[in-house]
Amino acid sequence: PDDCEIREGGVAARWAAMGHHVKFVSCTNGDIGHWGMAGGPLATRRVAEVRRCAEILGITTEVLDIHDGELMVTLENRRTVCRLIREWNADVVISHRPNDYHPDHRYTGLLVQDAGYMVTVPNFCPDVPYLKKNPVFLFSEDSFQKPTPFAPDIIVAIDDVVEKKLAAMAALESQFYEGGANGGPQLLPDPNDPQAVAARRNDVRSAFDRRFAGTAAKFRSALTKYYGDAAESIKYAEAFEICEYGRRPSPDEIRQLFPFYPGK
């Protein structure tokens, strides 16, 4: 729990502000994602954190009860992902690319990719009505180069919601303020020193500010495609690549699904 918030928190907040229904699903429960705690107590804490994020962003969230680091590409999990997409009647589904450093990320990407066709097959998981229109499946941005680098087909300015997104990052205390699985007690300031606590929080905020700004800087030409001359003044963005296994949206449909762009 935290990847959706990092990679899609801005566009989610923008959709939600327009009255659209957005749901984040974490495919594992995060129960080993901390240096100092684990198991049920950590899983409970992380669920509470993403629920707070959902409140901030104005969306819905769900965390599957699968152990952190143990997600596998199984028929059972394919059915679970397929049912989740159908039950939400999704128009757009965003996930990891299936080439990523983390096995849970890779396998989530594969499971979602597999669902890109199966959600429309009537006799697969017949207990949940199949989708008569395939969603648009998208991959979120990453920095991996092999076998192919991420190529943005869609990019959205998030300047107007970046404060919400940064607030959501701050709510994920176990992961960022405390450092998650690769952190340690050396990261934590004296809780009785307000200045040190504020400095640590500012360090976390600044790191994410740079990350979200980095997307806009890296893909400025893609921003220009959608925003024209206004692209130069955009500071923060989120970028997405279209998965070939779902519906291939036309330029007009992209603008319908992402109703944030200025007129043609």
- CA 212 from chain centre, in angstroms, equals 13
According to the model, what pLDDT value does residue 99 have?
94
Q: What is the mean pLDDT of residues 143-159?
A: 98
Residue 191 lies in a domain: yes
Region of 72 please: left (phi>0), alpha (psi -120 to 50) or beta: beta
> Per-residue confidence at 263, pLDDT binned at 50, 70, 90?
confident
Residue 264 lies in a domain: no
pLDDT tens for 38-56 read 999 999 999 999 999 999 9
According to the model, what pLDDT value does residue 264 have?
61
Please check the confidence at residue 31 and state whether its pLDDT lies above 90. yes
pLDDT tens for 225-234 read 999 999 999 9
User: What is each CA distance from 140 to 122, 155, 228, in whole angstroms?
Assistant: 28, 10, 23
pLDDT tens for 117-146 read 999 999 999 999 999 999 999 999 999 999
pLDDT tens for 167-188 read 999 999 999 999 999 999 999 9
End-to-end CA distance of the chain: 37
Q: Residue 108 corresponds to which tokens in the numbers above?
A: 């989530």
d(C-alpha 7, C-alpha 100), whole Å: 14
> Per-residue confidence at 80, pLDDT binned at 50, 70, 90?
very high
| Cα-trace Rg, the chain | 19
User: What is each CA distance from 235 to 12, 218, 258, in whole angstroms?
Assistant: 18, 11, 18
Q: Check if the beta carbon of residue 32 is closer than 8 Å to that of residue 77.
A: no
pTM of the full structure: 0.96
Residue 252 lies in a domain: yes
d(C-alpha 141, C-alpha 9), whole Å: 13
Residue 149 lies in a domain: yes
Residue 152 lies in a domain: yes
Residue 263 lies in a domain: no
Tokens 């006799």 sit on residue: 123
> Based on the structure, what is the number of domains in the chain?
1
According to the model, what pLDDT value does residue 69 have?
98
Q: What is the mean pLDDT of residues 57-83?
A: 99
Q: Check if the beta carbon of residue 197 is closer than 8 Å to that of residue 191.
A: yes
> Per-residue confidence at 5, pLDDT binned at 50, 70, 90?
very high
Q: What is the overall mean pLDDT for the chain?
A: 98
According to the model, what pLDDT value does residue 62 have?
99
pLDDT tens for 87-128 read 999 999 999 999 999 999 999 999 999 999 999 999 999 999
CATH assignment of the domain containing 154: 3.40.50.10320
Q: Check if the beta carbon of residue 93 is closer than 8 Å to that of residue 135.
A: yes
d(C-alpha 95, C-alpha 98), whole Å: 9
Produce one character per residue of 201-238: b if its CB has 16 or more CB atoms within 10 Å, e if not: eeebeeebbeebbebbebbeebbeebbeeebeebebbb
Residue 262 lies in a domain: no
Structural domain for 137, as ranges: 3-257
